[in-house]
């Protein structure tokens, strides 16, 4: 089982990636702007369930491979870091378009089931979560502590719970001040820029330690 210090580090890394205004956070914010707090919280719940399912697939598929190959672990981490940097650059380049999309109000409010389903889809297909599960989670694995697959499953569960709590917080915050966000697209652009910068920084933070360990 993961030790206390590693668990704290895992939680800190998870909180950092969840709070970044990426696809899931921006979708929750968009729902909050359009329909308010309840819709945003339901979206966050669906999103967390989608990412939990994604983490299960990754744990089952990737866990046994990482158990057998340190080289594969290094390659996965480097590629994941590079992709995080790519996502950050893409988010920065399209910050204006993303802000425009978020302030568009749909004419018909979705049902609660549709809200959950839409959130689930965004979570299950979230490239940021996919990269994080594949490239960052393995750094916290203890090969001597038992099944890597089981450890990755536990990491995914922790991440999903944190995702619901933190994305739900975004939804409640924005849903309670939706007029303030709608009246200025620049505020949404700033959120996107902050997310882009942090995502690139995380990507660099994943790659540098791996390369440093390899070169030494």
How far apart, in whole angstroms, are the C-alpha atoms of residue 144 and residue 129?
Answer: 26
Give the number of C-alpha atoms closer than 13 A to the C-alpha of residue 206, restricted to the C-beta side: 30
Which of 13-17, 110-114, 179-183 comes out lowest in average pLDDT? 179-183
Instruction: Check: CB of residue 27 under 8 Å from CB of residue 48.
Output: no
| Tens of pLDDT, residues 167-188 | 999 888 877 776 666 666 677 6
List C-alpha distances in Å: 205 to 27, 130, 198. 26, 17, 10
Q: How confident is the model at residue 160, as a pLDDT? A: 94
pLDDT band, residue 33 (cuts 50/70/90): confident
pTM above 0.85, yes or no: no
Q: Which residue has the higher pLDDT, 124 or 108?
A: 124
CB burial class (10 A; 0-12, 13-18, 19+) of residue 80?
buried
Instruction: Check: CB of residue 149 under 8 Å from CB of residue 63.
Output: yes
Q: How confident is the model at residue 183, as a pLDDT? A: 60
C-beta neighbour count of 112 within 10 angstroms = 12
Helix (H, G, I), strand (E, B) or coil at 108: coil
Longest dimension (CA), the chain: 58
How far apart, in whole angstroms, are the C-alpha atoms of residue 80 and residue 83?
Answer: 5
Q: Which residue has the higher pLDDT, 63 or 151?
A: 151
Instruction: For the chain, give the mean pLDDT.
Output: 78
Q: What percent of the chain lies above the pLDDT cut of 70?
A: 81
């Amino acid at each position: 089982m993961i030790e206390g210090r590693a668990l704290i580090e895992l939680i800190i890394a998870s909180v950092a990636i969840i709070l970044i205004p990426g696809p899931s956070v921006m979708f929750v914010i968009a729902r909050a702007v359009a329909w308010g707090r309840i819709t945003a919280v339901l979206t966050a719940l669906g999103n967390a369930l989608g990412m939990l399912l994604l983490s299960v697939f990754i744990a089952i598929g990737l866990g046994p491979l990482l158990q057998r190959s340190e080289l594969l672990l290094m390659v996965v981490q480097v590629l994941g870091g590079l992709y995080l940097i790519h996502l950050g650059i893409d988010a920065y380049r399209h910050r204006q378009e993303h802000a425009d999309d978020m302030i568009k109000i749909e004419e018909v409010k979705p049902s609660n089931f549709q809200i959950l389903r839409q959130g689930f889809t965004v979570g299950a297909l979230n490239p940021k979560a996919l990269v994080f599960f594949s490239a960052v989670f393995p750094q916290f694995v203890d090969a001597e502590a038992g099944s890597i697959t089981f450890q990755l499953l536990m990491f995914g569960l922790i991440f999903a719970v944190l995702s619901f709590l933190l994305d739900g917080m975004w939804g409640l915050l924005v849903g309670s001040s939706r007029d303030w966000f709608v009246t200025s697209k620049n505020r949404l652009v700033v959120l996107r820029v902050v997310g882009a910068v942090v995502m690139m920084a995380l990507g660099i933070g994943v790659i540098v330690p791996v390369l440093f360990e390899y070169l030494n």
